[in-house]
A and B are shown apart, each in its own frame.
Chain A
């Protein structure tokens, strides 16, 4: 009983802390946006040229699968960071001094994350209700059919995401930017692992397949397929869940999912996985022990000076002469407006702290870009070269907020006119250096269009990083957005979304030049406000 009460208060405090932040409103706004897009018919579940009549069953299934497929990706980025927040606010130090066990803490964090994600599911449920009522294709309300996909598809998927966010935060390698990138690929793998078996067995599922299905889409589609085959025996098994595109021309009536014990058990298994992941996280959780937090290695490498010795030295200093040295006044000529030295300082700051192998891989990618045939270089290797420095870019603009150095830097002269552009120039130099192998190839091949695209991309990537960093004060937004953009737009060379600019078929340098200008203007405006300019 007492343990339950403690857990309740931990989750309650965590949840209240979240909902009173502006970021939570942004979270809900995103759910509302996605709900509206689905409502407006921009998100379509299509079987050949068919979609279901908007009755309770179809609308509920659509919202459920949109939530478990799309919102899970974003939801992870939204909830990840709750342990870090306890660390930075030092509330963790207080909690660590209580009798609370580590597993209790990670469970509470999991439930806090889950509560926030469940609020998004609630928004989707309201959107489902509105969609059925306002689209008015079939207004007969079947609450079970409308809500069961949200309860049994969306919520277990969200629970798993909530627990993974806690697990990622406790694992040293995955708690930062690497984890943000890894989640995107894990999320893709989770979706594919569910859809794969259904596709390979021509729409039929085995008992084990239900347990591998993360989103619920294949399970649901199998039942829809059966219903559609009765209406149109010539159904070709072309199924897609997409955003945008031409709406299907035909409709059929689908009466809903027929839940059986295997399906329900399979969905509840994801909740069990979630609890297991939260408990697993407790094994890696550092309990806010500073020695196990961030700088352990550096401290060990540093020459050790015992505290007693340091104190004795300080005492001696106070006794002998409180004034250990004299300051020579600084000649006025030594303070100059040197932009390039700030660029070098920012560049050093960006490149500091990486291991030798980081530089080895970056160097290897430059050489590979320069040595490979131009099509392979501009269509493939450059992608690797321009994802590798992502954790450098993601610090741009957010570093001052993350390390609380803003008041030191913003009180320096020309912080807006000198430091901010210097960060950008340093970012452009890093991007150009990372892709320099390709630049050489383009110049040798006299591909000036490609080279122009390269230059625009080298300006665009750091501009995006800087703008998101300055506006959000966190590296997470860039890490999440860039990974998704890089994979969906650049890696698949989608015209308009391929920002690399070096692959002729999908290159749109003009568009990205405009975007770069807009992003830089956004950085300038935001930083101007941060510097208290009226």
Chain B
């Protein structure tokens, strides 16, 4: 009996509850500092600067790393203890992963399908679909050793979807992708999030702003903010201004204001600033998620220093 295209998933989308998760590395770096989060179904963006602790959180949720304390529950499964059960439902695309260069795409996916326990017939059908999905069907017989970074990344997402996971964790997936591939990748993840939890970790705001239903900001291992993108935007509404300054004044402006962006044009430098009191001649502009991100981070850092 062929499975029909109208197959309805029997398991409802569950959520992940993280409570006081902490991890300190032997060198003293505090990668996670009492992080508490609720990750609902759909696309969830984990945003933060490099070294913020995103990958540690991702690896812990992917059952590849122990936490020092705290808990993480996926549906009714304890992620830190019921690892095998979680792995059955997990698709994971690590930030940095390798492939076997002598195998082609088809062979590599067949190998991983076997390791994940898929039966051969189902695996073949699934691999066909996935290769079409990630646009690698034409190169399925090409050895992976000759693949570009973007093509390798697409192999990575295909392997993560092999077992039709309820939880898909993708760590910095757009690194090394060209703009077209990046757009395509975002669309793909957005589509996939309709029927599972997709956790996307990135330091690139545009990766999550159009697709994530919820965003967590992490810095220095601590949770800085956790909200829907609209809520984050509301926090900076009326505080983003743009005005034109001569190039020579740019350094002086940098000393006085929190700048979120600059662009050189024929009439001078267009400066975008985050401030309560606008400079003379500045015009209010609609905030972007990047403004909200920078604002939250600088408030957090100012608080941490104080």
List residues of chain A with CB under 8 Å of any chain B CB: 294-295, 298-299, 301-303, 305, 307, 311, 313-315, 317-318, 322-332, 334-338, 341-342, 344-345, 348-349, 352-353, 399, 403-405, 407-415, 418-419, 531-534
> Please, which residues of chain A bring their CB within 8 A of the CB of B129?
325-328
How many whole Å from A212's CB to the nearest CB in chain B? 42
> Please, which residues of chain B bring their CB within 8 A of the CB of A407?
59, 62, 64, 92, 94, 97
With A325-B132, A345-B111, A404-B97 known as contacts, the answer to whether A314 contacts B126 (CB < 8 A) is: no
Interface presence of B263 (CB below 8 A): no
With A413-B88, A534-B66 known as contacts, the answer to whether A314 contacts B135 (CB < 8 A) is: yes
List residues of chain B with CB under 8 Å of any chain A CB: 3, 5, 7-10, 59, 62-66, 83-84, 87-88, 90, 92, 94, 96-103, 107, 110-112, 114-123, 125-126, 129-130, 132-135, 138-139, 141-143, 145-146, 148, 156, 159, 161, 163-164, 178, 180-181, 183-184, 187-188, 191-192, 195
Closest 4 CB pairs of A and B: A404-B98, A295-B145, A334-B122, A330-B164
- Can you give 25 A-B contacts (C-beta < 8 A)? A295-B143, A295-B146, A302-B146, A311-B180, A314-B135, A314-B181, A318-B187, A322-B187, A323-B187, A327-B129, A327-B192, A328-B3, A328-B129, A329-B7, A329-B164, A334-B118, A334-B122, A334-B126, A336-B117, A338-B117, A342-B117, A352-B107, A404-B97, A407-B94, A409-B115
> Please, which residues of chain B bring their CB within 8 A of the CB of A332?
10
Question: A301 vs B145: C-alpha distance in the bound complex, in angstroms?
Answer: 12
Number of A-B contacts (CB under 8 A): 184
Question: A410 vs B84: C-alpha distance in the bound complex, in angstroms?
Answer: 11
Question: A236 vs B142: C-alpha distance in the bound complex, in angstroms?
Answer: 67
Question: A114 vs B233: C-alpha distance in the bound complex, in angstroms?
Answer: 60
With A342-B115, A408-B92, A411-B62 known as contacts, the answer to whether A299 contacts B145 (CB < 8 A) is: yes
With A330-B164, A412-B116 known as contacts, the answer to whether A299 contacts B87 (CB < 8 A) is: no
Nearest B residue to A349 via CB reads B111
Question: A56 vs B111: C-alpha distance in the bound complex, in angstroms?
Answer: 61
How many whole Å from A433's CB to the nearest CB in chain B? 20
Partner of A335 from the list B88, B102, B135 (CB cut-off 8 Å) is B88
Nearest B residue to A341 via CB reads B114
Partner of A298 from the list B96, B101, B119, B134 (CB cut-off 8 Å) is B101
Nearest A residue to B190 via CB reads A322
Are B119 and A338 closer than 8 Å at their CB atoms? yes
Are A349 and B103 closer than 8 Å at their CB atoms? yes
Are B143 and A302 closer than 8 Å at their CB atoms? yes
> Please, which residues of chain B bring their CB within 8 A of the CB of A295?
101, 143, 145-146
Question: A313 vs B118: C-alpha distance in the bound complex, in angstroms?
Answer: 31
Nearest B residue to A534 via CB reads B66
Nearest B residue to A533 via CB reads B83
Question: A330 vs B111: C-alpha distance in the bound complex, in angstroms?
Answer: 18
* Most chain B beta-carbon neighbours within 10 Å: one of A338, A404, A407, A412: A412
Instruction: Using A322-B191, A409-B115, A412-B116 as known contacts, list a sample of 20 further A-B pairs with CB atoms less than 8 Å apart, ordered by residue number in A.
Output: A299-B145, A323-B133, A324-B133, A327-B164, A328-B129, A331-B7, A335-B163, A336-B117, A341-B119, A341-B120, A344-B114, A345-B115, A407-B92, A408-B156, A412-B87, A412-B112, A412-B115, A413-B84, A418-B115, A533-B83
